[in-house]
Structure 1
């Protein structure tokens, strides 16, 4: 049992971050091996635009659950790479609408097969490893528990309960 496994929930965040970084690194390596210039961090924007054609920056930030400035920064980066185009909304001059450029649409057609392969590979891996089948339901349950009663509140309650004992 390694350091992280021994410490259990005390290092859950660090462990999840390590898994996430490793996962994203592997996904990026898969794109590179296919000769596709795409970063896994762009996936949420590309996926949403592949489903909706055009969205406002606010809609994107709400869907991917990041701050408006973070979404705006990502959109700016993708615009600079020539993958996205923004236009001012015809109904609200303060709103920026985001859509694919021709180059972005072309990239989308290249990356969709990688998405399919990622899903197939992950499903096969999860089916082959004991305990992995419950990973996504467990993550969903954890997210729900954290939303219903934040961890900081739980910790504070336990600190105060311990001091009373």
Structure 2
């Protein structure tokens, strides 16, 4: 059995490299067949661009063919050594160094155009024989990867898988130490603990639960790794405040903040709330991004007991 049938899509990159290697090997033979001796297939994009559009800077070539500048610089040096490129040309305004085809490079142009026409015809026949159009598929994949890299897509799948092992439970006395420790760790990393923090974290029953609030705990492998509170507010505009959200650094990247935020919003709805409120600081960019993702919008003009607060937000709960 072909190893790729066993590995599946995980080995997509390896399979594409093998296909590329086969085509590159054939490309070298094709250049020899057309008497274009010593021409390395990877030079072709640079050669084609200079042949069609004339002199260019290294930066312009890199942008046009989608290579890095170091990669283009290396190719240009190789082509210069082979006598195909002149890399000592001054631009018309004499402020930029440009490269262009040498006389030897220009002399190959007609032969390579004939070669390209034959290759286009051969590839077109292969595309017609194939069940799927590889050329269009490559274009589509390039577009998809520009929108979101494979790394980012795998990262999202990892988060999704690991988040399925996260369990959100209600506060119990055994989680009091974790509630305090996780929040103290988070607050102390960015700010200083304040009086309102100590009250809520040292006495969660008195300041949160006994007043009609809730505390939710995120468990990963049965270990408390995230917490968030829903605090009853004595306010005509808001029923509850979402506060004291903290996630252990070792558990970040598992969508725990998102899961806690969604669970808190659902809990507020169960309690009959129509809006919930929160306070934060704009230096916490991932947190602010999470709040917007949850549906919170910024509000202005409310007093706060926290020195660190410079942004306030609200979430309208929908049925």
The verdict on a shared fold, with TM-score over 0.5 as the criterion, is yes
Q: Do residues 76 (structure 1) and 115 (structure 2) align?
A: no
Alpha-carbon RMSD across the aligned residues, in angstroms, is 1.6
User: Does the CA-based 8 Å contact 1:27-1:40 persist in structure 2?
Assistant: yes
Instruction: Find runs of 4+ consecutive structure 1 residues off by over 2 angstroms.
Output: 5-8, 88-93
Query: In structure 2, what is the Cα distance between the partners aligned to 1:70 and 1:91?
Result: 26
Per-residue CA shift, 1:16-57, capped at 9, x if unaligned?
Answer: 111111111101111112322122111101111121021111
User: Is the helix fraction higher in 1 or 2?
Assistant: 1
Q: Do residues 88 (structure 1) and 90 (structure 2) align?
A: yes
SS in 2 for 1:10: helix
How far is 1:92 from its partner? 5.3
SS in 2 for 1:54: coil
Residue 15 of structure 2 corresponds to: 15
Query: In structure 1, what is the Cα distance between the partners aligned to 2:138 and 2:34?
Result: 30
Query: In structure 2, what is the Cα distance between the partners aligned to 1:144 and 1:156?
Result: 19
Query: In structure 2, what is the Cα distance between the partners aligned to 1:138 and 1:84?
Result: 33
Q: Do residues 66 (structure 1) and 29 (structure 2) align?
A: no
Report matched runs for 1:102-141 at 5 Å: 102-129=103-130, 131-132=131-132, 134-141=133-140
Q: TM-score, normalised by structure 1?
A: 0.90
Report matched runs for 1:1-12 at 5 Å: 2-12=2-12
User: Is the strand fraction higher in 1 or 2?
Assistant: 2
Of the two structures, which has the highest relative contact order with CA contacts closer than 8 Å and spacing of 6 or more? 1
Whose radius of gyration is greater, 1 or 2?
2
SS in 1 for 2:108: helix
Q: TM-score, normalised by structure 2?
A: 0.48
Query: In structure 1, what is the Cα distance between the partners aligned to 2:142 and 2:90?
Result: 35
Query: In structure 2, what is the Cα distance between the partners aligned to 1:125 and 1:150?
Result: 29
Query: In structure 2, what is the Cα distance between the partners aligned to 1:34 and 1:5?
Result: 37
Residue 97 of structure 1 corresponds to: 98
Residue 26 of structure 2 corresponds to: 26
Aligned CA distance change for structure 1 residues 92 and 8 (closer, same or farther; 3 Å) = farther
Per-residue CA shift, 1:72-131, capped at 9, x if unaligned?
Answer: 1111111111111121324353x32111111101122222211111111110111123x1
Query: In structure 1, what is the Cα distance between the partners aligned to 2:92 and 2:50?
Result: 19
Report matched runs for 1:28-43 at 5 Å: 28-37=28-37, 38-43=39-44
Structure 2: which 5+ runs fail to align? Answer: 165-319
User: Does the CA-based 8 Å contact 1:46-1:108 persist in structure 2?
Assistant: no
User: Does the CA-based 8 Å contact 2:27-2:41 persist in structure 1?
Assistant: yes
Structure 1: which 5+ runs fail to align? Answer: none
Aligned CA distance change for structure 1 residues 5 and 106 (closer, same or farther; 3 Å) = farther
Residue 306 of structure 2 corresponds to: none
